[in-house]
Chain A
């Protein structure tokens, strides 16, 4: 199991503009860790998609970011949480082109392709928790990296 390297940084989401805030934070974090520009962009989009999903489906929730390490790799973990209606059918929600509100329907499925890991924990009417993670390659020595809350 992975270890947590940094303090968790949480961004409350209740409006579309908060998605931009979360996106800026994860970009700064990714650049500091040494992610390449494409990988950082992937993370930024994944966070934006998750935040926008919170806005549209739950109204409010939060995005939490932190640095994690597992053996010799280091990565950024994204956790999106809300107490909205929940996802009734996760497989259907992950299908390209499926949307309940008239969007393109490739947000969640796109996030799955942009990140290295994605876990969705949701039952209708309960807290929805989406955990994603992107690993930095090639691995750095985890001991050298410390990200503090102030660093953001």
Chain B
């Protein structure tokens, strides 16, 4: 285990660091640029991190060879470097097999560098080692693929469940329906809200639809755009839309953005909205006379 005195990986890393780093970066960037043409890869940062990683590897291998069953200590420099690397690239949409590739590439380069000076008798063995290493790496990725696919399917199912939960269309009274919008509204949810509302309008022959945005954290132009399309579609089915629950900050911001809700009836509170909706179908809420 400790017979590493005259030839170590640490030495190889020390003497050939720049050369290895260049080959590593070229190979990784070549693949990534081909697979992710639209992702902005910060090359300087990647190079810096990779250099730090090589430094850590050199330190690790410069003394005695790390024992069998070695594990990175959580929170150590090398673990933190790789953790940050993985998180950052996952967020950028770089797939796990391409992050794993990052390590495989340097491994192949190091193996080649080590085997380069071996006696000719070992050449066949060397080729075998390099090839076997590559095959096993790909097999590891295949394992990950299956695992991640299962995980992603679970997450997709959960998002679908959330979608189902989040858009009830409530029949408030004869010909009056209400949709309480809650949470972040993205394109997919907006489409679903429109669909549900239109279905309900048709089903209940509604002439008034109340759209309550109290539960929407922020109204940006994209949400406003979706709401406007929903309103236009509802009007086409013969329902008037009353929008309620825009908070004062939201109102000021929408005006600054230049979003114009002038053609839509709006009320500050859901209470006022319901009163307005009922009024339009000739109803009103009155106290019971004792």
What are 8 A-B residue pairs whose CB atoms fall within 8 Å in the complex? A45-B218, A60-B39, A82-B40, A83-B38, A110-B257, A110-B258, A113-B256, A114-B253
Whether B88 contacts A110 by the Cβ 8 Å rule is no
Q: Say which residue of B38, B91, B187, B252 sits within 8 Å of A12 (CB atoms).
A: B91
CB nearest neighbor in A for B41:
A83
CB nearest neighbor in A for B92:
A12
* Given known A-B contacts A23-B218, A41-B250, A114-B257, A14 and B91 have beta carbons under 8 A apart: yes
Whether A109 contacts B249 by the Cβ 8 Å rule is no
CB nearest neighbor in A for B42:
A62
Q: Is B263 an interface residue (CB 8 A)?
A: no
Whether B257 contacts A113 by the Cβ 8 Å rule is yes
Please give, as numbers and ranges, the residues of chain A lying within 8 Å of B219 by CB-CB distance. Answer: 45
Whether B224 contacts A104 by the Cβ 8 Å rule is yes
Whether A84 contacts B38 by the Cβ 8 Å rule is yes
A44 to B219, CA, bound (A): 10
Q: Is B78 an interface residue (CB 8 A)?
A: no
Q: Is B186 an interface residue (CB 8 A)?
A: yes
Whether A16 contacts B249 by the Cβ 8 Å rule is no
| Tally of B interface residues using CB under 8 Å | 28
Task: Other than A16-B186, A23-B218, A62-B40, give 13 A-B pairs with Cβ distance below 8 A.
Answer: A12-B91, A14-B91, A38-B249, A38-B253, A41-B218, A41-B253, A42-B252, A45-B257, A49-B257, A60-B92, A61-B40, A83-B39, A106-B258
Query: Interface extent on A, as a size class?
Result: 35 or more
Q: Kindly identify, within residues 87 to 122 of chain A, every residue whose CB is under 8 Å from any CB belonging to chain B.
A: 96, 103-104, 106-107, 109-110, 113-114
Q: Is B222 an interface residue (CB 8 A)?
A: yes
Q: Which residues of B contact A (CB under 8 A)?
A: 38-40, 88, 91-93, 184, 186-187, 217-222, 224-225, 228, 248-250, 252-253, 256-259
* Given known A-B contacts A12-B92, A14-B91, A45-B257, A106 and B38 have beta carbons under 8 A apart: no
* Given known A-B contacts A14-B93, A16-B187, A81-B40, A49 and B220 have beta carbons under 8 A apart: yes
Q: Which residues of A contact B (CB under 8 A)?
A: 11-12, 14-18, 20, 23, 37-38, 41-42, 44-45, 48-49, 52, 58-62, 81-84, 96, 103-104, 106-107, 109-110, 113-114, 127
Whether A49 contacts B221 by the Cβ 8 Å rule is yes
Please give, as numbers and ranges, the residues of chain B lying within 8 Å of A62 by CB-CB distance. Answer: 40
Whether A114 contacts B38 by the Cβ 8 Å rule is no
Please give, as numbers and ranges, the residues of chain B lying within 8 Å of A59 by CB-CB distance. Answer: 38-39
Whether A41 contacts B249 by the Cβ 8 Å rule is yes
Whether A45 contacts B40 by the Cβ 8 Å rule is no
Whether B220 contacts A60 by the Cβ 8 Å rule is no
Please give, as numbers and ranges, the residues of chain A lying within 8 Å of B252 by CB-CB distance. Answer: 38, 41-42
Please give, as numbers and ranges, the residues of chain B lying within 8 Å of A41 by CB-CB distance. Answer: 218, 249-250, 252-253
Please give, as numbers and ranges, the residues of chain B lying within 8 Å of A58 by CB-CB distance. Answer: 38
A92 to B209, CA, bound (A): 37
Q: Say which residue of B39, B88, B92, B221 sits within 8 Å of A103 (CB atoms).
A: B221
The smallest beta-carbon distance between B231 and chain A, in angstroms, is 13
Q: Say which residue of B93, B220, B256 sits within 8 Å of A52 (CB atoms).
A: B220
The smallest beta-carbon distance between B189 and chain A, in angstroms, is 10
Whether B228 contacts A60 by the Cβ 8 Å rule is no
CB nearest neighbor in B for A44:
B218
A17 to B185, CA, bound (A): 9
A17 to B220, CA, bound (A): 14
Please give, as numbers and ranges, the residues of chain B lying within 8 Å of A83 by CB-CB distance. Answer: 38-40
Please give, as numbers and ranges, the residues of chain A lying within 8 Å of B38 by CB-CB distance. Answer: 58-60, 83-84
